[in-house]
Amino acid sequence: MESLGWLGLKWDEGPYRQSERLDIYKEWAQRLIDAGRAYADIRTPDELDEIRKQSAAQKKPALFRDYRPDNPPSWQPGVPLRFKSEPKNYKWHDEVMGDLSTGPEVIDDFIIIKSDGFPTYNFAHVVDDYLMQITHAIRSQEFLPSVPKYLNLYDALGIDRPMLATLPYIMAPDGHKKLSKRDGAKDVLDYRNEGFLPGALINFLATLGWNDGTEQEVFSVDELISKFSLDRVQKSGARFDEQRLSWMNGHYIRGLKVTELSTLAQNYWPATAGPVSPEYKLAILELVQERLKYLAELPGLTSFFFEEPASGDVSELYANPVDKQLKGVGTPLIADMLRSSMKTLEDSNFGRDDVAKRLNELLRQLQTKPGILFAAIRIAVTGTKSSPGLFGTISVLGKEKVSKRLFEALTILEK
């Protein structure tokens, strides 16, 4: 329920507890008894198992309707109540699967009230749906084989059935099995904790097995409400592709206003962020917004805004630069470039434009390539091999941090 709330999915009625509705189920069960359509089943689990074994030995499905007790006692608390089925052919329409039909062989007697007095799902959902005036019963595929049983029960109770629809499975990313928690599937709330947006998850899930017939991929919730239709739902299962979800979430994050992103990102800052000003965080978010796929990536992308680069990282990056261009440049030359950078930034106002102007100017003076000069500065200032745009990063970091880091890098290089 917390998941539904987070996703913004609202319900009209309930929730109900079965324990508070036992009398209702009992009343409906009594109707079946009165109509001769239910009987108390006093057989032990062992006896029932015996029936199953016999059937299995004959390579036939176990049908309890072939083994009905001759003189069942009247139903009383503590014993299970079994539905007395009336086997026949069924044809019905499934909003997703289309027209379906089955023979009498799939209809059987089944327990409707357990010995503890609680109804089984098979019985409770029919009663509950009816009382709540449910129009559409949309279920997962594993219920499809049970539908004829439900139809038989609707008939016995003399009530109309709702529209039926069967949704395909969501499959595990790597296999052919349906996605399930025991196979490592994440909870919806795990996605919330990793910083996925509800709208993105809904969009992803909705288009997993459904499309509107156009080439549109991104749908707002309102669009989904107006455009979704069961008859365009896929019948086959669809793999849960996290990469696609990440792409979609990134798309939604990019569409946010920075202030909105800031609100959502509140709890995702690195532990070392500490009590820095909201303006500083906002400026950082502006820099990283377009490269965030989900909020939990924030620390990895921004930690250098809050803590000094590790000297080990810096020296390692200079010794083995990822950038090919920087590779051929000798340490003395890199040191020179850092010194010049310090100098030209010394009396900068650290506005983004001014930083850009000065560093581009320096580029001309030194007659080197951006891939070399800027890579060298990036390592010193961020301690990483990639970062947001260098000018913006320097501007946001500010004079104090930048000067200090250039100086630190210099001492590392000269060691």
What is the footprint of RNA within residues 342-371 (CB under 7 A)?
370-371
Any contact of residue 302 with RNA (CB under 7 A)? no
What is the footprint of RNA within residues 27-86 (CB under 7 A)?
41, 44-45, 48, 52, 59-62, 79-80
One character per residue 247-276, x = contact with RNA (rule: CB under 7 A): x--xx--x----------------------
Identify which of 116, 135, 112, 107 has the alpha carbon closest to the alpha carbon of residue 28: 112
Q: Binding residue for RNA (CB under 7 A) from 67, 143, 154, 350?
A: 143
Closer by beta carbon to RNA, 114 or else 414 = 114
User: Which region, judged by CB under 7 A, interacts with RNA, from 144-152, 256-264, 271-279, 398-406?
Assistant: 144-152
Closer by beta carbon to RNA, 66 or else 414 = 66
b/e string for 10-36 if b means 16 or more Cβ within 10 A?
eeeeeeeeeeebeebbeebbeebeeee
**Residues pairing with 233 in the sheet:** 210
CB of 415 to RNA, least distance (A): 25
Give the DSSP per-residue string, 303-362: GGGTSPPPHHHHHHHHHS-SSHHHHTS-HHHHHHHHHHHHHHHHT----HHHHHHHHHHH
Owner of token pair 């060298």 = 376
What is the footprint of RNA within residues 324-343 (CB under 7 A)?
none
Q: Binding residue for RNA (CB under 7 A) from 375, 380, 396, 409?
A: 375
Residue 296 one-letter amino acid: A
Owner of token pair 């594993």 = 142
Contact 282, 259 (CB under 8 A): yes
Closer by beta carbon to RNA, 173 or else 414 = 173
Strand 81-83 relative to strand 111-113, pairing: antiparallel
Q: Binding residue for RNA (CB under 7 A) from 126, 156, 201, 208?
A: 208
Closer by beta carbon to RNA, 222 or else 231 = 231
How many residues does this entry show for the chain?
Answer: 415
One character per residue 94-133, x = contact with RNA (rule: CB under 7 A): ---xx-x-xx-xx-x-xx--xxx-x-xxx-----------
Residue 385 one-letter amino acid: K
Angle between helices 311-319 and 370-382 (to 10 degrees): 160
Closer by beta carbon to RNA, 278 or else 328 = 328
Q: Binding residue for RNA (CB under 7 A) from 19, 71, 133, 243?
A: 243
Identify which of 328, 311, 320 has the alpha carbon closest to the alpha carbon of residue 415: 311
CA torsion, ordered 328, 334, 340, 345, to nearest 10 deg: 100
Closer by beta carbon to RNA, 120 or else 311 = 120
Any contact of residue 374 with RNA (CB under 7 A)? yes
CB of 52 to RNA, least distance (A): 6
Q: Binding residue for RNA (CB under 7 A) from 142, 190, 346, 353?
A: 142
Closer by beta carbon to RNA, 260 or else 414 = 260
One character per residue 178-197, x = contact with RNA (rule: CB under 7 A): x-------------------
Contact 91, 100 (CB under 8 A): yes
CB of 97 to RNA, least distance (A): 5
